[in-house]
Amino acid sequence: MPTLILASSSPWRRELLQRLGLNFDCESPNIDESPANGEVPQELALRLARQKAEALAERYPHHWIIGSDQVACLANGELLDKPGTHSNAVSQLIRSSGQQVSFYTSLYLLDSSNGASQQHCEPFSVQFRSLSLAEIEAYLRREQPYQCAGAFMMEGLGITLFDSLKGQDPNALIGLPLIALNRMLINWHCNPLLQNAR
């Protein structure tokens, strides 16, 4: 199989992809992630994943390039991006408290040698507990999830913020839908279970 390229600088996506036991390289695609006018969350997530993969196609012309993106939103459609700062994270978690937040994690697999591609968008929802400001502040001080959509890290203490989770692939909530990616690789005759271990 061609060399895999993960079009991401995310350490969480890198860690997830390592679980499949395949050799791969990472590179940040550095694209503009601003939503287009009227773009719904699923469309935004899929477009960004595609653009991330395509941004690296010229540099890696004989590779399978994996693009992925995650968009989070409240039930009213308000997008929850990466907060970046403590105050923005506090504001996001206050708005999420007691609410259901939907996550759409997209996947785009591009064969840069011939332009073939596969895409998928994995939905996942979390029901936040009603959180006190003291809980929010304590959580943010401990994990500082300022580069995570929704202002939490599910693989850490973020799990304490929820009443329930609903979805088919919990890896999607962390940032990369491995079940869908495995299916895509098998579609292209690359079964991670049958590849040589690293």
Name all domains of the chain by residue range, CATH numbers in brackets: 4-194 (3.90.950.10)
**Residue 198 predicted with pLDDT over 50:** no
pLDDT tens for residues 8-54? 998 999 999 999 999 999 999 989 888 888 899 999 999 999 999 99
Residue 69 annotated in active site? yes
Banded pLDDT at 56 (limits 50, 70, 90): very high
What pLDDT does residue 149 have?
A: 86
* Lowest mean pLDDT, pick from 60-64, 103-107, 153-157: 153-157
The amino acid present at 8, given as its one-letter code, is: S
**Residue 154 predicted with pLDDT over 90:** no
Q: What's the mean pLDDT when you consider all of the chain?
A: 94
What pLDDT does residue 1 have?
A: 84
**What whole-number distance in Å separates Cα of residue 43 and Cα of residue 49?**
10
Q: Which position among 32, 69, 163, 169 bears the catalytic label?
A: 69
**Residue 195 predicted with pLDDT over 90:** no
Check residue 49 and give left, alpha or beta (phi > 0: left; psi -120 to 50: alpha). alpha
Picking from 30, 20, 34, the residue whose alpha carbon sits closest to that of residue 59 is: 30
- Tell me the helices (H) and strands (E) count for the chain, helix number first: 6, 7
pLDDT tens for residues 64-113? 999 999 999 999 989 998 899 999 999 999 999 999 999 999 999 999 99
